[in-house]
Amino acid sequence: MTVIDAELAALDPDLERNDLPSIIGRRLSGRFTIDEWGLDRDLLTAITPFVRARWGLRIEGAEVLPEVGPALLVHTRRIGISEPGVLAAAVHRSTGRPLRATGYFASLPGPFGPLARRLGAVPVGSADLRSLLRAGEVVALPLGREVRQPFHVGPVPATPLAAALVAGAPIIPVAVLGVELGRWWTVRFGRPISTRRRGVVDPADLADVTRQRLQSLLTDARR
């Protein structure tokens, strides 16, 4: 079986074979690639079947996700452990694109932090967020935990939205709904909020609009 070199696949990803023997062949030959933020696409592809076995997904409104170009997905979380993985699985299933999940996972101690970065997690620093959006990536921004009030949306930070504004990346509110140890989760994508507007846009206003859109998604889910 012919394994296409990583350099050629980088020019045309459709040329790269992603079946398990090809992935193993690239590992053995050292021809796999890890991007500048630490993502290992082969590893992500290899674990996808296990992710699908762990979570059953109901995906609503995925047509708003861009096939190319950047987007900032602002999503709800309750306990906050499963939501990044569930959302990443929904984005990958809908578009084939990896999700860059910001948050504490990339900074976990021991081997867990590096493993999380290989699967797309990145530190929460604003510099990484800006560079990811400028590079055309899909980035997830988790909100604060709402353990006792799962249908309430807390404050939305304005600083990450300012990065989306500079990059011209749409902001997409996402409600991620499920029970931490449960199998079935619902991922509801809301209508994108455009950041390509004339004149000066206040990130605080974007944060307020995003919070309202998220609250509407949760209210509709509760009915």
Note down pLDDT in tens along the chain; length 223 residues: 344 455 555 555 555 666 767 777 777 777 778 888 889 888 888 888 888 899 999 999 999 999 999 999 999 988 878 999 999 999 999 999 999 998 777 777 778 888 888 998 887 666 778 899 999 999 999 998 877 888 889 889 999 999 999 999 999 999 999 988 889 999 999 999 999 876 668 899 999 999 999 999 998 887 7
Domain-located, residue 114:
yes
Domain-located, residue 107:
yes
> What's the pLDDT at 1?
32
Domain-located, residue 129:
yes
Domain-located, residue 27:
no
> What's the pLDDT at 4?
44
> What's the pLDDT at 14?
52
Domain that holds residue 177: 55-222
Sequence-ordered alpha helix ranges (H) in the chain: 6-11, 20-29, 41-54, 83-95, 112-118, 126-134, 158-167, 203-222
Across the beta sheet with 138-142, what order do the strands follow?
Answer: 56-60, 184-189, 171-178, 71-75, 138-142, 99-101
Give residue for tokens 């992710």.
51
Domain-located, residue 40:
no
> What's the pLDDT at 81?
85
> What's the pLDDT at 24?
75
Nearest residue to 90 (alpha-carbon basis) of 138, 144, 143, 127: 138
Question: Is 157 exposed, middle or buried (CB count within 10 Å of its CB: 0-12, 13-18, 19+)?
Answer: middle
Whole-number Å distance between alpha carbons of 216 and 208: 12
Establish how many alpha carbons lie within 13 A of residue 31's alpha carbon, considering only the half-sphere containing its beta carbon: 17
Sign of the dihedral through C-alpha 170, 173, 178, 180: positive
> What's the pLDDT at 16?
62
Domain-located, residue 108:
yes
Nearest residue to 170 (alpha-carbon basis) of 66, 16, 76, 95: 66
Domain-located, residue 31:
no
Nearest residue to 214 (alpha-carbon basis) of 173, 159, 156, 179: 173
Give residue for tokens 């560079």.
131
Domain-located, residue 9:
no
Whole-number Å distance between alpha carbons of 57 and 46: 19
Count up the domains in the chain and report the number: 1
> What's the pLDDT at 2?
40
